[in-house]
Structure 1
Amino acid sequence: MLHSHSRIAVPPETRFVGSAYNKRRTFGDMRLASRRLALAEWMTGERTKFRELGVDKDEFIRQAVDGPGSLGSVIGTAFKMYADRFGKARWGDKRPSYVKQVDILVRLFPDAQFVHLIRDGRDCVSSLKEMPWFTHDSFHAMSIWAEAIDAGRRLRKIMPEDSYYELRYEDLTDDPATELKKLCYFLEEDFEPAMCSPHEVASVAVPVHKVWHSNTHGEVTKARVGSWANRLDAWEIRLAEQVLGERLEDLGYELSGAPKPAKEHLLTFQKTVQKRRRARLRKHMRDRFIRLREPGPVAALLTSGQRAVAGLPQQRIESELPQRVM
């Protein structure tokens, strides 16, 4: 829907943003051209999904090396070139896990705006179970949704109103025009009716091999709303409504009144939550340690907003609004 806007480009999931950030000590000081070259070459390698941007590899490497000396600038250059493919002024990126990495993304892109699309947790668990790339079980799927909702709650409290926005999947599919008008107001963009017909650009924005996104190639549909009732096993419904119930009701989702789950299922879920919490804590502590010995600048210096945050003089740019991550 956002990619259907004449000023906004949102590519398929690239999955190199977080990895590049976590490897920043390996790549070193981005003020050195040789280090920018090393990062750019890694980003275009076989282990990332850079090719899905449809951006010329050699030209990206050249622009990254010639660009500003910061980690975010090298990463942002790839997205800027993607937006340039379509003659658009702004770019975005999407991953469900980003809601738990906002502090990192703000470090990379200080003028970022974030859009959190929320969906009924039971439907999310149903969908995750069916994804060919999801290797965990339903206990993990429920924990993942709870983590995302809790992260969103924290963001609502600490993020400026012009930086963080939430909307529900169910509302968006029920009345796309109304919800997209609200979203465009947040993004400081004019609403465009083409956004309600995203299937017209799906062949560009959604790679053919991502068969789990097949619905994006058709009209906006509500068919999957509430489909959890037929896609989850009875024990999964009982457990989901027990461990996710307070969050579901807080977001306006009704519970079915399913019986209480088995004790062994509750225990397994609690163990999963603790395991995932320990893993997050380890990642957080590792990141904090690396911040003490960061090899070079992190924040992107590609837009007027980013340069203003850094206290640098403005450069002439084509767009009248900064390009921002969403």
Structure 2
Amino acid sequence: MSASKSSHSEPIFIFGSARSGTSLLSRIINSHPKISVPFESHLYDTFIPWIKYYGDLAIEKNREQLIDDILNTECMRDWSPKPDRNRILSEISDYTFGGVVDGLIRSWTLDQGKQRWGEKTPWHAYFWRDIISDFPNCKIIHIVRDGRDSSLSWKNARFGPKHYYYLAKKWVQYLQTIDELKAEVDSDSFFEIRYEDLLLDPAQKSQEICDFIGEEFSERMLDFHTNSNPYPTDKANLKNLSQPIISSNSNKWKSHLSPRDLRVFEAIAGNYLESYGYERAVSNPTISPSEKLFIKYLEHPPRKILSMIKNRKGHIDGLRRLAIYLRLVTKL
């Protein structure tokens, strides 16, 4: 399908719960000759709750302060190449938060010699109403992965829950949000893909994505692993992104989750597993009230605390955000 003339005004937002393949999908789309998808921005989940403190963005100093704060967050420091402040300001034509988002990512995209931008921050799904309000013509691509595999990966990450009880709850909560989104948008705006299907036939699924966003398919999308730009993810994720798609990178839960882990996860998320075509492993799984209390007060807290202690990057990010927030609220 050839691109429509208006396709460049249709940004692409990639949604997916933690460790569901959003990084892989964003790198594939970023490898299209016309589209850039930078590293995660966390623009909406960080700044929408604070945007009231910036005042009228039509006032230049307010706009500049917002841009300076955005560029000072830890995730924006991870972008490569670094966004240029003056370039961003010159590209903002709509003095709203959406206009700032567009100016930021579009300026970065143009500097890559491309015309259309995408954005991948998993937690932005919780702000889909704000995103659709700011970009009513946007295209949303949601990637879903077997929750047992995504939870296995997330459990080993530096952030997030550290028990399958809470991992399952987070996975279900995310998909419930996607359900709300699906009920409000039409098929021209929303496309869903399973991670496992992308692994099995990346060329076909990439073609379907291109049909959805209105761009010609490019073989370069399948060469995403040759991109030498730094991508500041964890070592395991980076290793996978540095080689061609691993078709067997699924069903790891079968050899890594204990019978109890499976029971706990499926007691919470079994219905969503089935709704997305994933077969249950446990018949009629349940969790007793006493087991829930044991998990909540004895099992999960020490695991979470230990993970938080080790999460140095998270500490830096948290301190940077806290400094921004305190400056905003104390100036009132």
TM-score interval, smaller chain:
0.7 to 0.9
- In structure 2, the CA distance between the partners of 1:193 and 1:216, relative to structure 1 (3 Å rule), is same
| 1:172 counterpart SS class | helix
User: Any residues of structure 2 matched to 1:308-323 within 5 Å, and which?
Assistant: none
Q: Which residue of 1 aligns with 2:253?
A: 228
Distance 1:185 1:2, change over 3 A: same
| Structure 2 counterparts to residues 1-326 of structure 1, below 5 A | 1-60=28-87, 62-63=89-90, 67-201=93-227, 203-204=228-229, 206-207=231-232, 211-257=236-282, 260-264=285-289, 267=292
Which whole-Å CA distance do the structure 2 matches of 1:270 and 1:135 have between them?
Answer: 12
> In the alignment, what sits opposite 1:321?
none
Distance 1:247 1:79 in 2: 34
Q: Which moved more, 1:30-39 or 1:91-100?
A: 91-100
Residue 325 of structure 2 corresponds to: none
Maintained 8 Å contact 2:164/2:265: no
What's the secondary structure of 1:92's corresponding residue?
strand
Please tell me whether the aligned partners of residues 241 and 258 of structure 1 are also in contact (alpha carbons under 8 angstroms).
no
What SS does structure 2 have at the residue aligned with 1:199? Answer: helix
Contact 1:131 / 1:212 at 8 angstroms: preserved in 2? no
C-alpha spacing 1:71/1:55, structure 2 compared with 1 (3 Å): same
Post-superposition Cα deviations, 1:219-260, rounded to whole Å, max 9, x if no partner, equal 101232000122223211011222211111111111123573
Q: Which amino acid aligns with 2:65?
A: A
Which amino acid counterpart does residue 141 of structure 1 have in structure 2? L
Distance across 1 between alignment mates of 2:46 and 2:60? 20
Runs of 4+ aligned structure 1 residues displaced above 6 Å come to 269-272
Which ranges in structure 2 are unaligned for 5 or more consecutive residues? Answer: 1-27, 298-332
> 2: CA distance between counterparts of 1:117 and 1:269?
33
Contact 1:3–1:10 at 8 Å: present in 2 too? yes
Higher mean displacement: 258-267 or 144-153? 258-267
State the aligned residue count. Answer: 270
- Distance, in Å, in 1 between the alignment partners of 2:205 and 2:294 is 34
Q: Give the Cα separation in 1 of the matches to 2:118 and 2:234.
A: 21
Residues 44 and 57 in structure 1, CA contact (< 8 A), matched pair in contact too = no
Q: 1 CA distance for matches of 2:76 and 2:268?
A: 35
1:268 to partner: Cα distance: 5.1
Percent of residue pairs bearing the same amino acid type: 24
Secondary structure, aligned partner of 1:254: coil
Larger mean Cα displacement after TM superposition, 165-174 or 191-200: 191-200
Separation in 1, partners of 2:147, 2:209: 22
Q: Deviations over 1:113-168 (max 9, x none)?
A: 11000000111111110111225432221111111222222322221211111000
TM-superposed deviation, 1:171: 0.3
Distance 2:78 2:282 in 1: 47
Q: Is the 8 A contact 1:14 1:50 kept in 2?
A: no
Greater shift, 125-134 or 53-62, is seen at 53-62
Distance 2:97 2:235 in 1: 29
Decide whether aligned partners of structure 1 residues 116 and 19 sit closer, same or farther in structure 2, where only a CA change above 3 A counts.
same
